[in-house]
Amino acid sequence: MSKKPFLELEMKEFPVTRYQGSKRKIIPWIHTILKDNNIAFNNALDAFGGTGMVSYLFKKMGKAVTYNDNLKFNFLIGKGLIENNQQILSDEELVTILEYRSDIDFIQKTFKNIYYLDHENKWIDNIVGGIEAIYNTEETQYKKAIAYYALFQSCIIKRPFNLFHRNNLNLRTNDVTRTFGNKTTWEKPFDALFIKFVKEANLCVFDNKKTCISLNQNVLDIDPYGYDLVYLDPPYFTQNGSHETANYFKCYHFLEGLANYQKWPELIDYNSINLRLKENNNENFEKGNIYNTFEELLLKYQKSKIIFSYKNGGLPSVDYIVKILKKIKRNVYRKSIHYKYALNHQNGNAKKNREVLIIGI
């Protein structure tokens, strides 16, 4: 009996994002690894879902997918692109959102001259107010998620380095010659960007006839049973102890604030220069606990096939992860590919950067 043909990838059907750490560029490689190594599964957990690219791959492959991320804004992305199987935003709804005027001016007052221009801060206040006012029922939760997805992407693309790790609006506004960034994109109206990302998200919504869900939990609290495959892409440290660009809570705190708009004022660390959120006290992924946490993760999901996505030069090392996996899995092997990261392309070690998949079957 002939085997069912493996999914032929059309990357143009995948969402596009400038989110730091996105796996979009290497999705074809991950897909090939699954195919060439005959890694069969029906139910998958993407435990550190992030942009949702791997979850979206699994959904495209016709699998039942559980997307998880401990950040609420990522959870909303998972709601809109993974769990959602039919709801999209109409042109009329787009107009309604864009024409909404909020009487709340929290962002305008709080983040003046930090991330966006005054009129842009006002626009964001209006859009969040519109999303919350228009989509406030269980029946419209997926439309709400798509709207937030478009807002998050619009906010990211107008930021230098696509991050919120520094108070650096001046990099965009200074009248100087630049060797980085995209001034044209930075100055595009928020309206145009929002429309663009809503339409892109709409095209990504589909029903794969399987149950797909989005969770917003600590990965160590998820019930580990019922998954044939668990994909782990945890935060990591570099060998010198740096964690900044892998700390998504700090890099995207502004988006997390948007996702918690009503509670945002009480979540801010007002002693921080760029008004970050108070630390979320995720001690499991602090440097002093990271070895124990990785081992706990692997032991927790030992009943499933495990794909551990990592970087060479990470702390703990690839060899350490392999060693732990070999204690619980009969077959353990690794695959790697060169991968250039956006924020370290000038680093002397950039040519040594490799994405590594550590697989335990």
Using one digit for the tens of pLDDT, what is the confidence trace for 59-107? Answer: 999 999 999 999 999 999 999 999 999 999 999 999 999 999 999 999 9
Question: Which pLDDT band holds residue 348 (cuts at 50, 70, 90)?
Answer: very low
> Residue written as tokens 């969402």?
15
Phi-psi region of 224 (alpha: psi -120 to 50; beta: other; left: phi over 0): alpha
Q: Which pLDDT score is estimated for 136? A: 96
Question: Which pLDDT band holds residue 229 (cuts at 50, 70, 90)?
Answer: very high
Residue 345, pLDDT above cutoff 60: no
The torsion angles phi and psi of 108, rounded to 5 degrees, stand at -60, -45
Mean pLDDT of 27-37: 95
Q: Which pLDDT score is estimated for 1? A: 37
**Strand pairing of 213-215 and 237-238?**
unpaired
Question: Which pLDDT band holds residue 346 (cuts at 50, 70, 90)?
Answer: very low
Preceding peptide of 160 cis, ω within 30°:
no
Q: Give the mean pLDDT of the chain.
A: 90
Mean pLDDT of 45-59: 97
Q: How many angstroms separate the CA atoms of 120 and 198, rounded? A: 18
Q: Which pLDDT score is estimated for 281? A: 67
Q: CATH class for domain 1-85+208-241+287-361? A: alpha beta
DSSP structure class, residue 356 = E
Q: Which pLDDT score is estimated for 116? A: 97
At 36, which amino acid appears?
Answer: D
Question: Which pLDDT band holds residue 283 (cuts at 50, 70, 90)?
Answer: low
Q: Which pLDDT score is estimated for 240? A: 61
**What is the domain partition of the chain in residue ranges?**
1-85+208-241+287-361, 101-205+244-282
Residue 342, pLDDT above cutoff 70: no
- 248 vs 97, residue with greater confidence: 97
The percentage of residues in the chain with a pLDDT greater than 90, rounded to a whole number, is: 76
